[in-house]
Amino acid sequence: MRIVLASDHAALELRGYLKDQLEKAGHETTEVGALNTEAYDYPDAADELAKALPSHDFGIVICGTGIGISIRANRFPQIRAALCTTEYMAAMAREHNDANVLALGARVLGTEQAWAITEAFLRGKPSEVPRHKARVDKLGRPI
9 is catalytic: no
| Choices 20-28, 54-62, 76-84, 117-125; region in contact with a second copy by CB under 8 A | 76-84
56 is catalytic: no
Nearer to a second copy, 24 or 125 (CB): 125
Nearer to a second copy, 19 or 136 (CB): 136
Q: What is the C-alpha separation between 46 and 138, in angstroms, rounded?
A: 22
Q: Is the dihedral of CA 96, 67, 70, 16 positive or negative?
A: negative
Selection from 18, 21, 50 nearest residue 33 by Cα: 50
Site mask for a second copy (CB under 8 A), range 7-36, x = bound: ------------------------------
Cβ atoms 33, 49 nearer than 8 A: yes
Nearer to a second copy, 29 or 120 (CB): 120
Q: Which of 3, 5, 56, 68 binds a second copy (CB under 8 A)?
A: 68
DSSP string covering 69-113 = HHHHHTTSTT--EEE-SSHHHHHHHHHTT--SEEEEETTTS-HHH
Contacts of 135 (CB under 8 A, 6+ apart): 96, 97
Binding site for a second copy (CB under 8 A): 39, 41-44, 47, 50, 64-65, 67-68, 70-72, 74-77, 80-86, 88-89, 92-93, 96-97, 99, 105, 107-108, 131, 134-135, 138-139, 141, 143
